[in-house]
Structure 1
Amino acid sequence: MPAPIFLPLVDPTAAALIPALALLGPVLVPAALLDAVRPSIPKTGSYIVDVSASDADVVDILNAGAAAVVVSSQQFLSVAGIPRERLIAKLQASELANAAAAAEVAGAIYIVGGTEKDTAKSLGVKADVYVELASPSPATLVESIKAARPTTLVIPTALLTTGASSATHVSIADAFLAPVVSDRPDGLFPTIVASSGHSSRPLGMVYSSVESVSEAIKTQKGVYQSRKHGLWRKGETSGSVQDLVSIELDCDTDSFVFNVVQHGTGFCHLGTPTCFGNWNGLARLEDTLKSRLADAPEGSYTKRIFTDEKLLRAKIMEEAEELCDAQTKEEIAFEAADLLYFSLARAVSKGVSLKDIELALDAKALKVTRRKGDAKPKWEEKVADKPAAAPAPVAAAPAEEGPIRMRTTTLKEVPKEEYRSLLLRPVLNSLAMIDKVKPIVERVRKEGDAGLKAMTKQFDRADLSSNVQLPPFATPTEAELPKDVKAAIDQAYANVKAFHAAQVDAAPLRVETMPGVVCSRFARPIQRVGIYVPGGTAILPSTAIMLGVPAQVAGCKEIVLATPPRPDGSISPEVLYVAQLTGVTCILKAGGAQAVAAFAYGTDTVPKVDKIFGPGNQWVTAAKMLVQNDTDALVSIDMPAGPSEVLVIADATANPVFVAADLLSQAEHGVDSQVVLVGISLTAEHLAAIEAEVDRQALALPRVAIARVAISKSLIVLVDTLEEGLDFSNDYAPEHLIMHLADAPGAVAQVENAGSVFVGAFSPESCGDYASGTNHTLPTNGYARQFSGVNTLSFQKHITSQEVTADGLRVLGPVVVTLAEREGLEAHANAVRVRLAELAK
């Protein structure tokens, strides 16, 4: 939003001025006056709302069409997630030291009680600056506007008038024209006249003067300055008048654009719509359709288009489908033109103009919260049922795309300064994602169950009476859960439970650090945990097992399992069965950031949790990172997350078929999956065999397109020795480390950083993902240097205690007193001294 020449601050008496003021840019409306003033405001995006002294809902105000909102520094946290350019930070003159911090949050700074000398440069900010003068004077206001540029002055409407300037009021035109200068000898201003919302082609080029601009603002009509005849009120004699929509200044403040609605025969004296000929593009089509609507012969196809609703509806759907099926540039252009023709015919038949469509687009652009954007179920089903015109994205890649290969580098040839680049993962813009999830999280926080239900309907397409399902959970039937699947889940559950139960602390740790001083540590379960299981249409019982089992064996009293519901509101029977096995106390039927928010803050029906576990997409990950840093939430998370990754380390004994399969087991997760092969003294033939197997096996996968992209970004690192290979692996710190080595068990002792290790040729990563017993929720993106994978201790916290006897304090006390005094903490020292004094009696 470009900074206006001045910003009018609306008061309760200003309704009559608003149409004239809105021609020149936005008006500033206090939140308390918005409902009263908004009917006078001509369009969305032409007003700013000051909410700094209210508790108005900022998102609702912006979604309703405000260009921006003015907020106080105390409101910065409550507007997290709102685009910076839609916020103006209001500061008192005494708060200017905070301007730089405010500019990080908002796109403009609004200073109350400032001076004309307060500029972006003087404040050291990259933001527009608005200044409300402490005591504005009508006598000097025009000069103040000139002196302040590029700062914008906030001017109370009580000082403005549509008439001539006086001792008590300033003409709106004089205020607007204050910084405008002409470089012409006659003092006129070149003015482009444009048709508002109708065409990108200008109507013509004319001239304006101070007098004509003043008249145009006062009458809200197209008024210009003829170089021969003086003041020119367009259409005064011909009837082709213009309604003035807005006046814009160019960047040098020496020329104008008048946006108008042209009436009558057109702008040009030759009878054409513009001085540059007829309309083109959509504007020409709109005029043609309007003409045909008025006089198309009965029975003609054009007349049928306008009168036969069923025919027009069918043509729009037909052309939309043909556009979706088009492939070449020429086909797409042709079919898009047909769709635009029939769509605009529909609009014209209902009295909707291009201007109306433009206003609707502007209104959509101003919204800061939007629906997810998925197609309605009936259209998703239609696309699913219809054979694709082009090959499906995951079909086998055509031969001309070449073999699926990884990049290869020899470690000893890599310069030292480039070594770290081999360890890098793709840059994850977590801050941008956090900004996107903030409105979702905030809605659940404010609206609770109502917001959660609304977003479940919006994002998960499930209209639920309640998002919560409580035990006892119904046992799935054999038709829902076949015996072999149930048996596999039972075995995986037993293995994971056996391994995680063994991790429980058997007894408290107790150490006598010196005679009479005993220190202890004991474990206690985290009382309330939230486990997130991605899903909806997918079936992920393995994640439910990996998170539910350690929560169960740790002794957590409340286990809340969140998973997206299916469209009918149900949960997959596999996940429901695992919830039964693991003692889940509540199922939250919700996915995405909204489920994380419900975990973090709780609702009337969803229990608030103390720690959140589980994988998810970037929305889930960003929401977890957001809530863990909110002190109001008081919630922690398991670990940072990123794309799945594997590092396979292989020597001359490795089976190329196994190695290739292990690489692809991660590559199929997504195009951002990270796959690394560290080859130890591999011959050229052995390496070629592995690469050939990667290509052969990938082409046989249903997700070959995903694997092709992931593999193309992946890396083969060739080293000479096992030590070099393990050193690289430890620096890389992979989520999964798979060892295809002659002595894989012996190499485990050298592993320093990894999420989970798969030892030997017959230990594929898939076993750990599903049923061996270890947990598959592991650190990615190099975080294996600092984090463990999820385990039983993740669901517990450890409390320490100390017990000091009288004899122990006699020895320990003087030590404590000395250290406390050294630190200047006399109360700490005194707590020991009084006891020592008592013992000395």
Structure 2
Amino acid sequence: MSVFLPLLDGGNIDQALLRSLARIGPVIVPSNTPPSSLPPDLDVSRYILLDQTSSLNLDEIVQWLDLGADKVIVPLAWAKDVVGVLPADRLILLLDVSNASAVSDSVRKGISGVLIKTSTLDADFIGSFTRFFSGADIYVLSTPSSSPPSQSTIRDLRRANTIIVLPTTLLTYSATSEQAINVADAFVAPLISDRPDGLFPTVVTEDGRSLGLVYSSTESIKESILTGKGIYQSRKHGLWRKGETSGASQTVLGIRVDCDLDALEFNVVQKGSGFCHLSRPSCFGESKGLYALQKTLQSRFESSPAESYTRRLFSDPELLRAKIMEEADELCSAETQEEVAFEAADLIYFALTRCIASGVTIYDIERSLDKKAKKVTRRKGDAKPKWAENTPATASTSTFTRPPPRSAPVSWSKTTDGPIRMRTYDLSKASPETRSQLLRRPVLKSDEMIAKVKPIVDDVRQRGDAALLELTAKFDKAKLDSTVIFPPFAPESTQLTDPIRNAIDVAYANVQKFHAAQNEKTTLVVETMPGVVCSRFSRPIARVGLYVPGGTAILPSTALMLGVPAQVAGCKQIVLATPPRPDGSISPEVMYVAHLVGASAILKAGGAQAVAALAYGTQTVPKVDKIFGPGNQWVTAAKMLVQNDTDALVSIDMPAGPSEVLVIADSTCNPAFVAADLLSQAEHGVDSQVVLVTVNLSQEEINRIEEEVEAQARVLPRVDIIRQSIPKSLIVKTTSVDEAIKFSNDYAPEHLILHLKDARSALPQVENAGSVFVGPYSPESCGDYASGTNHTLPTNGYARQFSGVNTQSFQKHITSQEVTADGLLGLGPVVATLADCEGLQAHANAVRIRLRTLVA
């Protein structure tokens, strides 16, 4: 919400004043304002004040909204024709103070604000309108407007949740006088500092990303508003004009106050080396995702080598066009979540390359999206004939469609999806068939996937490094000269910020401590009968391959969970495989973990090609004896394929399926905790398995959990995935802890979370689960990252037969027996008899020939 709202009310608006106003919020623009009054390069949020002297023209109002107006201000007389037809959040009602009470309830619910014209600016009097129009923004315009209000009046009104409207004839770029108030003085009037030094915490952002936290004073705020430069207040050195000495200056696009009027946000365009004194874009570290990609592409557009692939894309429009179309087609053909994300990333890369080549940035794209979001008319949306197969051709130009009459109103606001709800079953009423269905997982089409990965595996097996390099370029989009990194690793490749390095160190210590306790250091010795001693001892698997999913993602936790037990077990060769980033590098987080666990090699490859290289070895990739690690269905299928190939002589950790959680909750549970645990798994993928088993919970209690799921899901970045996984998930109602745990044992979940009154006492009843999380303060996330247990766990019901990865997963056990002469005298006849019974006379002879020498 603004501090005050300027109203353009003069023919020749001072351009410097107008630019200052655009930096601090929306401006009311009368619909009859000459276009020349607003410079075309000025990005100003507009509230359009419609001409009350003309008749209602609904088409014209729609056009204003379609052309980017944030809101339109309409007189009360038009309310019955626009309220309920146009979006409520885009409508402000213009009222005289005398007719405010004539506004009906239906009109109040169909608008987002009211602009009241009054001759008095008494805060208590205006406050009564705030109560009457509860939930709406209140703007007030003093009539007649012959002199500017005082700063105290602006302050009192704003603190009463009322925004004063100031005609530009009462605003000035110069010093405040009896005729006009300085625009910066009006802005700072209501601000409140709760700090002893009177400064205001200020978050500096660029394109929605935080650059850093600074402080502002009344003086620095005023100068920033008037000059459009980033100017702040140093607590040690006074006024700080950003970039004055370093050259890393800022252009201020917008200044906003927070809801408590005690903090600010500066939206800027940063120039030079960056905002941080360490010559980085942000004080919070390097950019990631799209903005990091944009920075890389901009840099390569300016200085990439002539022979580089990116330079070729920039200089060959036809190649770039072909790649965009190719990646768009692959995205449309993608099926799984991982495939869609992978192909979408490729398409975005080439699309952004096209944008950078044309001087278009992500900020420009976002502005275009925002402008389109403001449109209230829409095209039909059919594809153009050249792209449509069976879809009739439609006009490609946008046309304005007059809204229907009020007898058939439509909602022009953006539609939202329905509620996010799970499916509920009462176990006491479920038939045996229904109960069996509740225990089922989605059918995994492993045969189809194995057929898809076999050509990839065969190619790497036959051609080795040559195939691996080609497949890495194709699937991982990284052109490499070599596929393997051997230690010692370059120090710069493992450099991390202190918080990330410290977090990894703590997680490493916890995981190492827990897995070291599992290590068998003594030999098991048992004398089964006199003179017969049997023993068992462990030895590490010599060569292991650890698959760490990644590429653009960073998964140091998986590297820890696989690398630490391999290190503790004493494996001689630890080969870590992970997809490279587009520039061919491995994330420093994973590199750092590889260093900690003593990796003997890092394979820069992902998918089925990495599994094949580990299984068979190549000219440079060491062959391993066992492959560990999670992955998408391509990785899983490749692991299943190679473990059944006797030429590979390789085993795998366990079968894999979608991630899953089962939560058991009774009346002592915290609904917010339960919902958060369910969502932590539901966000993994559309096929994630989420089950809530309730113990004597009423429908009202279950509803509270579902309401929490809904509320938390809607603010999560992966809400679209959750919208698909949660409706497939289950709520199973039971009447006792025993019944709930019996169902859980039959289900055999990967993760089991116990939200029970005495959760620890239920632990002895658990028979089938990958890992158990006991009590309200044991979220599954702790096990995923740093508590010490392993997060590589059996899914798809395999917890009935398999354990999660542990130290013994990286070891094999060898047995021995030593039989003395006296021992053989007692045992030998038993063995010979059993061998004769099976018809294996040579076995019997091996015993009898010894017995004869002993009794001779």
TM-score for the superposition, normalised by structure 2: 0.54
Q: Is the 8 Å Cα contact of residues 563 and 590 (structure 1) preserved in structure 2?
A: yes
Correspondence 1:287-366 to 2 at 5 A? none
Correspondence 1:825-836 to 2 at 5 A? 825-836=840-851
Q: Does 1:601 align with 2:616?
A: yes
Partner of 1:379: 351
Correspondence 1:454-493 to 2 at 5 A? 454-476=470-492, 480-493=495-508
* Aligned pair partner of 1:551 in 541, 558, 566: 566
Deviations 1:76-113 (A, max 9, x none): xxxxxxxxxxxxxxxxxxxxxxxxxxxxxxxxxxxxxx
Partner of 2:525: 510
- C-alpha spacing 1:831/1:398, structure 2 compared with 1 (3 Å): farther
Residue 417 of structure 1 and its aligned partner are, at CA, apart by: 2.1
Partner of 1:735: 750
Q: Is the 8 Å Cα contact of residues 615 and 641 (structure 1) preserved in structure 2?
A: yes
Partner of 2:727: 712
Q: Quote the Cα distance in structure 2 between the aligned partners of 1:725 and 1:381.
A: 54
Paired residue type of 1:378: F
- C-alpha spacing 1:830/1:599, structure 2 compared with 1 (3 Å): same
Q: Is the 8 Å Cα contact of residues 533 and 563 (structure 1) preserved in structure 2?
A: yes
Partner of 2:697: 682
Partner of 1:531: 546
Q: Does 1:625 align with 2:597?
A: no
Paired residue type of 1:507: T
Residue 476 of structure 1 and its aligned partner are, at CA, apart by: 4.2
Q: Quote the Cα distance in structure 2 between the aligned partners of 1:595 and 1:546.
A: 19
- C-alpha spacing 1:686/1:382, structure 2 compared with 1 (3 Å): farther
Partner of 2:674: 659
- C-alpha spacing 1:770/1:476, structure 2 compared with 1 (3 Å): farther
Partner of 1:435: 451
Q: Quote the Cα distance in structure 1 between the aligned partners of 2:453 and 2:352.
A: 25
Deviations 1:234-277 (A, max 9, x none): xxxxxxxxxxxxxxxxxxxxxxxxxxxxxxxxxxxxxxxxxxxx
- C-alpha spacing 1:381/1:787, structure 2 compared with 1 (3 Å): farther
Partner of 2:650: 635
Q: Does 1:772 align with 2:772?
A: no
Residue 375 of structure 1 and its aligned partner are, at CA, apart by: 4.5
Correspondence 1:753-768 to 2 at 5 A? 753-768=768-783
Residue 520 of structure 1 and its aligned partner are, at CA, apart by: 0.4
Q: Quote the Cα distance in structure 1 between the aligned partners of 2:328 and 2:829.
A: 83
* Aligned pair partner of 1:403 in 405, 408, 419: 419
Q: Does 1:646 align with 2:661?
A: yes
Q: Is the 8 Å Cα contact of residues 476 and 577 (structure 1) preserved in structure 2?
A: no
Residue 584 of structure 1 and its aligned partner are, at CA, apart by: 0.4
Q: Is the 8 Å Cα contact of residues 372 and 458 (structure 1) preserved in structure 2?
A: no
Q: Is the 8 Å Cα contact of residues 540 and 575 (structure 1) preserved in structure 2?
A: yes
Residue 481 of structure 1 and its aligned partner are, at CA, apart by: 1.0
Partner of 1:669: 684
Deviations 1:191-213 (A, max 9, x none): xxxxxxxxxxxxxxxxxxxxxxx
Residue 379 of structure 1 and its aligned partner are, at CA, apart by: 3.1
- C-alpha spacing 1:754/1:380, structure 2 compared with 1 (3 Å): farther
- C-alpha spacing 1:685/1:376, structure 2 compared with 1 (3 Å): closer
Partner of 1:587: 602
Partner of 2:428: 412
Q: Quote the Cα distance in structure 2 between the aligned partners of 1:826 and 1:730.
A: 47
Q: Quote the Cα distance in structure 2 between the aligned partners of 1:699 and 1:595.
A: 37
Please, what is the CA RMSD of the aligned residues?
Answer: 2.7
- C-alpha spacing 1:668/1:376, structure 2 compared with 1 (3 Å): closer
* Aligned pair partner of 2:437 in 421, 427, 448: 421
Residue 403 of structure 1 and its aligned partner are, at CA, apart by: 1.4
Paired residue type of 2:350: K
Task: Name the SS of the counterpart of 1:511 in structure 2.
Answer: strand
Q: Is the 8 Å Cα contact of residues 755 and 775 (structure 2) preserved in structure 1?
A: yes
Q: Is the 8 Å Cα contact of residues 467 and 588 (structure 1) preserved in structure 2?
A: yes
* Aligned pair partner of 1:452 in 468, 491, 503: 468
Residue 683 of structure 1 and its aligned partner are, at CA, apart by: 1.4
Task: Name the SS of the counterpart of 1:401 in structure 2.
Answer: coil
Q: Quote the Cα distance in structure 1 between the aligned partners of 2:524 and 2:475.
A: 48
- C-alpha spacing 1:422/1:381, structure 2 compared with 1 (3 Å): farther
Residue 317 of structure 1 and its aligned partner are, at CA, apart by: 6.3
Partner of 1:813: 828
TM-score for the superposition, normalised by structure 1: 0.55
Residue 604 of structure 1 and its aligned partner are, at CA, apart by: 1.1
Deviations 1:142-172 (A, max 9, x none): xxxxxxxxxxxxxxxxxxxxxxxxxxxxxxx
Q: Is the 8 Å Cα contact of residues 608 and 635 (structure 2) preserved in structure 1?
A: yes
Deviations 1:207-241 (A, max 9, x none): xxxxxxxxxxxxxxxxxxxxxxxxxxxxxxxxxxx
List, as ranges, runs of 4+ consecutive aligned residues in structure 1 with deviation greater than 2 Å.
371-391, 397-400, 474-478
Deviations 1:695-723 (A, max 9, x none): 00000101100011110110000000001
Q: Quote the Cα distance in structure 2 between the aligned partners of 1:615 and 1:400.
A: 35
Task: Name the SS of the counterpart of 1:652 in structure 2.
Answer: coil
- C-alpha spacing 1:825/1:372, structure 2 compared with 1 (3 Å): farther
Paired residue type of 1:487: N
Correspondence 1:36-435 to 2 at 5 A? 374-375=346-347, 377-379=349-351, 381-382=353-354, 385=362, 386-387=365-366, 400-435=416-451
* Aligned pair partner of 2:537 in 522, 544, 548: 522
Deviations 1:332-378 (A, max 9, x none): 9xxxxxxxxxxxxxxxxxxxxxxxxxxxxxxxxxxxxxx99955943
Q: Quote the Cα distance in structure 1 between the aligned partners of 2:845 and 2:343.
A: 62
Residue 400 of structure 1 and its aligned partner are, at CA, apart by: 3.7
Paired residue type of 1:419: R
Deviations 1:27-66 (A, max 9, x none): xxxxxxxxxxxxxxxxxxxxxxxxxxxxxxxxxxxxxxxx
Q: Is the 8 Å Cα contact of residues 773 and 780 (structure 2) preserved in structure 1?
A: yes
Q: Is the 8 Å Cα contact of residues 515 and 808 (structure 1) preserved in structure 2?
A: yes
Q: Quote the Cα distance in structure 2 between the aligned partners of 1:664 and 1:764.
A: 11
Paired residue type of 1:787: F
Q: Is the 8 Å Cα contact of residues 664 and 753 (structure 2) preserved in structure 1?
A: yes
Which blocks of at least 5 consecutive residues in structure 2 are unaligned? 1-315, 333-341, 356-360, 374-412
Q: Is the 8 Å Cα contact of residues 475 and 577 (structure 1) preserved in structure 2?
A: no
- C-alpha spacing 1:579/1:512, structure 2 compared with 1 (3 Å): same
Paired residue type of 2:587: S
Q: Quote the Cα distance in structure 2 between the aligned partners of 1:830 and 1:494.
A: 55
Q: Quote the Cα distance in structure 2 between the aligned partners of 1:382 and 1:538.
A: 24
Task: Name the SS of the counterpart of 2:525 in structure 1.
Answer: strand
- C-alpha spacing 1:313/1:784, structure 2 compared with 1 (3 Å): closer
Residue 475 of structure 1 and its aligned partner are, at CA, apart by: 2.9
Deviations 1:268-294 (A, max 9, x none): xxxxxxxxxxxxxxxxxxxxxxxxxxx
Q: Quote the Cα distance in structure 2 between the aligned partners of 1:398 and 1:664.
A: 25
Q: Is the 8 Å Cα contact of residues 328 and 347 (structure 2) preserved in structure 1?
A: no
Task: Name the SS of the counterpart of 1:794 in structure 2.
Answer: helix
